[in-house]
A = this chain, B = another copy of it.
Amino acid sequence: MSKTQQVVFHLPEGDTAYGQKVFRNVLNLLADETISVSVAVVANGGGIDHLLATAPTAETARKLRESGVELLLCSNTLEGSEHELDDFIDGVEVVSSAMGELTRRQANGAGYIRP
């Protein structure tokens, strides 16, 4: 096994089928035994909905978090929404901005995937 690779998924869309697809993509990556990865999901815009405790995707999101996947919310989106951090599943964290976080992680060597 080679060294662990960093990768950040960008989740900007609110459609439920889209959220399910992205989380399935992450699960497929975690299940791929040919590569060792450290994964973060950065949600902004409608994409933050998939991390709500009441979302159809909440159970999958919890499973991802328990598998070590970082689940990150854009503070700009959060502030402009009707939600508070308490509305999201446990373990979700807020980042200064989705765009800043995506830039910073790539600058630090992470790959980027936009399903």
Q: Mark A20-35, 1 if CB is under 8 A from B, else 0.
A: 0100011011011111
Query: How long is the Cα–Cα vector from A78 to B74 in the complex, in angstroms?
Result: 34
A106-B111 CB under 8 A given contacts A21-B45, A28-B76, A76-B28 = yes
Q: Copy number of this protein in the oligomer?
A: 3
Determine how close the nearest CB of chain B comes to the CB of A67; give it in whole angstroms.
Answer: 14
- Residue numbers of A with Cβ under 8 A of B are 5, 7, 10, 12, 21, 25-26, 28-29, 31-35, 37, 44-45, 74, 76, 96-100, 102-104, 106-107, 109, 111-115
Instruction: Pull 6 A–B residue pairs with CB atoms less than 8 Å apart, ordered by A.
Output: A7-B99, A7-B102, A10-B114, A35-B96, A37-B103, A102-B113
